[in-house]
């Protein structure tokens, strides 16, 4: 600094934007030299990248480097730097080497249930076995595949995945419910209803074989922290679920009342298309009737109050339950929450 021999003049080398002169006392601060860093500003030659690249004097290493024209000083020239995902000296051999982002969790955003794979200049995230998603913790992450209640995943001879529905405890009522579900779903053929592939009543515990729906229930996606469902996704799912109900009530050969419409009975397939599921409580309504008298069955919070008090079941009972699902979709709130006042 000049003031060491001339107290009337002050000069120093430092980064231009890191110092604002206030008073002479600034220069008396013993920590002054540490607060204002020195920056080396340079460029190679006076030629642009496009010209220098064709000359023998071009200094950027040929592997994984970028050439940038110097526009700061106005004197031309160029600078070399490593490409994204690489580090090292862009001028000297061996040059820029690939950064292994998978070795440092701060350099990758893979989900906790995903495997990070290093690639040249980048990395990929892939969900582990039995998990699905994009593998990124800031996107859809990885969700457990085998999340459907009482459903297990197996492979058929053609290597297609199916879901086996069976009860852990079987009694006469359970058998009757399984037979009822079989009678219902064999009459259903709609893209937004889970498809029955087969059944087995020869074992001690009857089994129903359904297409496997990998992305779990709508309930799980609505209520998990930082749900990925946008308003457009929610509206699309609502339309698809409504299409399934309309089919059951009006287009099936015999009208069907689902009787337990709720977000946990709406599944999302590999493309996040809504599929209505679980017809164990469903009832067929004879063509000459508009309602049937039954024992009240359903899920609290979704249950139609009129059906609850009269035991008279009709398609409006499903419509009420679906209305609760719509509110749940749009607000993200559970129908019953003990913490809510």
Q: Which listed residue (98, 260, 304, 318) is catalytic? A: 260
Cα separation values, 150 from 19, 237, 265, 308, Å: 67, 24, 13, 27
Do residues 267 and 194 lie in contact, with contact meaning Cβ atoms separated by under 8 Å? yes
Do residues 53 and 67 lie in contact, with contact meaning Cβ atoms separated by under 8 Å? yes
Question: Which two tokens mark 174?
Answer: 């359970």
Number of neighbouring beta carbons within 10 Å of residue 233: 15
Cα separation values, 318 from 128, 214, 307, 313, Å: 38, 25, 10, 9
Cβ-count burial of 267 within 10 angstroms (0-12 exposed, 13-18 middle, 19+ buried)?
buried
Q: Which residues contact 281 (CB under 8 A, 6 or more apart)?
A: 177, 258, 259, 260, 297, 298
Task: Provide the pairing of β-strand 96-98 with 114-119.
Answer: unpaired
Per DSSP, which regions of 184-245 are E strands?
A: 196-200, 207-211
Instruction: Judge whether 278 counts as a catalytic residue.
Output: no
Do residues 116 and 102 lie in contact, with contact meaning Cβ atoms separated by under 8 Å? yes
Cβ-count burial of 83 within 10 angstroms (0-12 exposed, 13-18 middle, 19+ buried)?
middle
Residues assigned a catalytic role: 260
């Amino acid at each position: 600094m000049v003031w060491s021999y001339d107290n009337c003049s002050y000069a120093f080398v430092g980064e231009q934007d890191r110092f604002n002169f206030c008073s002479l006392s600034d220069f008396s601060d013993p920590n002054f030299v540490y607060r204002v860093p020195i920056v080396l500003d340079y460029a190679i030659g006076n030629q642009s990248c496009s010209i220098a690249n064709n000359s023998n004097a071009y200094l950027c290493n040929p592997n994984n480097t970028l050439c940038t024209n110097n526009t700061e000083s106005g004197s031309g020239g160029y600078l070399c730097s490593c490409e994204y995902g690489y580090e090292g000296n862009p001028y000297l051999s061996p040059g820029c080497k690939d950064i292994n982002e998978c070795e440092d969790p701060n350099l990758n955003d893979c989900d906790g249930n995903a495997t990070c794979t290093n690639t040249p200049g980048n990395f990929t995230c892939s969900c582990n076995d039995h998990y699905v998603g994009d593998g990124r913790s800031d996107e859809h992450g990885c969700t457990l595949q085998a999340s459907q209640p009482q459903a297990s995943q197996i492979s058929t001879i053609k290597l297609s995945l199916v879901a086996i529905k069976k009860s852990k405890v079987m009694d006469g009522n359970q058998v009757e419910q399984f037979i009822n579900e079989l009678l219902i779903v064999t009459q259903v053929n709609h893209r937004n209803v889970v498809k029955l592939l087969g059944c087995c009543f020869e074992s001690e515990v009857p089994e129903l074989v359904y297409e496997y729906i990998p992305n779990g229930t709508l309930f799980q996606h609505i209520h998990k922290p930082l749900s990925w469902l946008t308003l457009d996704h929610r509206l699309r799912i609502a339309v698809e679920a409504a299409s399934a109900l309309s089919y059951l009530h009006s287009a099936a050969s015999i009208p069907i009342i689902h009787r337990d419409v709720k977000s946990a009975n709406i599944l999302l397939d590999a493309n996040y298309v809504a599929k209505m599921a679980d017809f164990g409580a469903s009832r067929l309504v004879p063509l000459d009737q508009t309602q049937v008298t039954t024992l009240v069955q359903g899920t609290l919070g979704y249950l139609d109050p009129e059906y609850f008090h009269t035991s008279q079941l009709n398609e409006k009972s499903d419509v009420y339950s679906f209305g609760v699902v719509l509110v749940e979709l749009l607000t993200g709130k559970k129908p019953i929450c003990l913490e809510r006042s």
